[in-house]
Amino acid sequence: EVQLVESGGALIQPGESLRLSCAASGFNFKNYAMTWVRQAPGKGLEWVAAITGSGSSTYYADSVKGRFTISRDNSKNTQFLQMRSLRAEDTALYYCAKDYYDSSGYSWMVDSWGQGTFVTVS
């Protein structure tokens, strides 16, 4: 069974930094691209960033480009989201999600989600 467990969410002040982690299990982690998606309270889904299985390619939403960095450690089955210069509009529940297909690329579809970790910037 696929399990994704996010951690690292916190209440922080504008301009500060925070690193989120996502521990994965139940699948061959290095074979799958991984994604971060966020959801502000009462709002819809917003794709944040993605990284291919090898870590060689990364993708970012315009709203976080230059401030957030996605990375992964395949030896520890964990992905990360380093967030800098945080703003009030970054306040959201951050979900870690697994790519749908086992491939060297990114399918732009996600099939397994964690329960999320909440980031409040205030």
Partner 1 sequence: QSALTQPASVSGSPGQSITISCTGTSTDIGTYNYVSWYQQHPGRAPKLIISDVSNRPSGISYRFSGSKSGYTASLTISELQPEDEADYYCGSYSSSSTLAFGGGTKLTVL
Name the site residues for partner 1 (rule: CB under 8 A).
35, 37, 44-47, 50, 59-62, 95, 100, 107-111, 113-116
- We find the least distance from the C-beta atom of residue 62 to partner 1, in angstroms, to be 7
Which one, 12 or 46, has the nearer CB to partner 1? 46
Structure tokens at 66: 């230059």
Which one, 11 or 108, has the nearer CB to partner 1? 108
- We find the least distance from the C-beta atom of residue 64 to partner 1, in angstroms, to be 11
Which one, 3 or 17, has the nearer CB to partner 1? 3
Cα-flanking dihedrals φ and ψ of residue 108, to 5°?
65, 25
List the one residue out of 1, 76, 67 whose CA is nearest residue 36: 67
DSSP annotation string for 14-42: TT--EEEEEEEESS-GGGS-EEEEEE-TT
